[in-house]
Amino acid sequence: MKVIKNPPAADWAALCQRPTASFEDILPNIRNIFQTVQQEGDRALQAYTLQFDQVKIDQIKVTEQKISEAAVQLSEDLKQAISIAYQNIRTFHEAQRTETVDVETQTGVRCWQEKYPIEKVGLYIPGGTAPLFSTVLMLAIPAQVAGCREIVLCSPPQNNGQIAPEVLYTAALCGVTKIFMVGGAQAIAAMSLGTASVPKVDKIFGPGNQYVTAAKQYASQGRVAIDMPAGPSEVLIAVDASADPSFVAADLLSQAEHGVDSQVLLVTTAAAAIPAIEKALTQQLAALKRKDIAAVALENSSIICFDSHQTAIAFINTYAPEHYIINVENTAEYVAGVRHAGSVFVGPFTPESAGDYASGTNHTLPTNGFARQYSGVNLDSFQKAITFQEITPEGIQNLGPAVEAMAQAEGLDAHKNAVSVRLKSLS
């Protein structure tokens, strides 16, 4: 990791750049994939799976038998862990239910809002270098709580030509209605356009690599809604002299092992602590199964040192991290300073891994600085709000003149007349 000390504000934008290709660079490939899937349907999905995943598949939809068989392939310990995570995540998302908003804005004018589930949702579950069955929990549970009628899941096959049993088991537990063995941008195209096997959905959820993210953005241009741009994972850790170097190194590596395009950033006000953290990084990296992946991610990452906490906090908000770990003595100051982040982990004993798996919060979060504009996935992500209004005769008499005046000022005579004819009928 590169060490940068007290960078001026003029350099912050460059330091906040993620190691990803631009949407414009990827767009031609994405457009071609969508066109091919639209024209050739399932045949295109099979061809792309062979091309990108080096797996030949005869049947895209996963059978009920395969889903049932997955349960016996998992240990009881893992099933128990998944059960604990399921309950915590469900508890947190059920708590996000809101009461119906119902108010009389003035005498005789009643307005209310009701929330309804999005009927058909598509969940994308990455499965390349690691089968992310935890993401099934994060996406399918709120869809289940919201009451979505159809929950479609797409995930790429492993080298053995099957979806990981952990993914299948968790999907069944969470009420997923259909599972398809297809990944990458072609999976997003399939859920966006529909094929003979894969149904078209109303909204697509889930993280993925640069191509999946670009495909979701392309799909959102008039085809379906998406949760957010959610690409390669990232973490920013704020530390001071109080932080345990082994904790810091473990948190950096837990994100770096996701993929070579992951980014980890350490922001510190304690330059003297950097050598101990670097030593712990080296020791822990050597013991990782995915050390080659993590090592490449670390090469694209930095340690940035500031003299003051205030400047550090300002930089962190400029970066707008997906995951933000606050491992400092005065956590209150950093928590109060949060303006842009996907999910925040407060204190030395709150690793990002807890949120990734089982604390209850959702781990599907905005990356690449989009935490400035987007929230992470939550219960509202799977719902739409519809507003209603009802006006009594007294209400239209009270409100009508104001509407008439505004419509006349905008030159919309028919709008004015829709009120005027009603007022005339009451006079």
Active site residues: 322-323
Alpha carbons 200 and 389: distance in angstroms, whole number: 32
Strand pairing category for 383-391 and 109-117: antiparallel
Alpha carbons 261 and 215: distance in angstroms, whole number: 17
Alpha carbons 362 and 41: distance in angstroms, whole number: 33
Sheet with 383-391, strands from edge to edge, namely 101-106, 109-117, 383-391
Q: For 301-421, where are the E strands, in sequence order?
A: 302-305, 323-327, 343-346, 383-391
Alpha carbons 136 and 122: distance in angstroms, whole number: 11
Alpha carbons 359 and 363: distance in angstroms, whole number: 10
Query: What are residue 109's phi and psi, to 5 degrees?
Result: -125, 105
Is the sign of the CA dihedral 37, 43, 49, 54 positive or negative?
negative
Alpha carbons 131 and 271: distance in angstroms, whole number: 37
Alpha carbons 118 and 148: distance in angstroms, whole number: 6
- The residues with which 101 forms a beta bridge, in sequence order, are 113
Alpha carbons 379 and 116: distance in angstroms, whole number: 11
Q: CA distances (Å), 369 to each of 11, 40, 139, 374, in order?
A: 16, 36, 21, 9
What does the DSSP 8-state code read for residue 393?
H
The Cα angle at residue 75 between residues 70 and 76, in degrees rounded to 5: 110
Query: What are residue 327's phi and psi, to 5 degrees?
Result: -120, 70
Q: Count Cα atoms within 13 angstroms, Cβ side, for 188.
A: 32
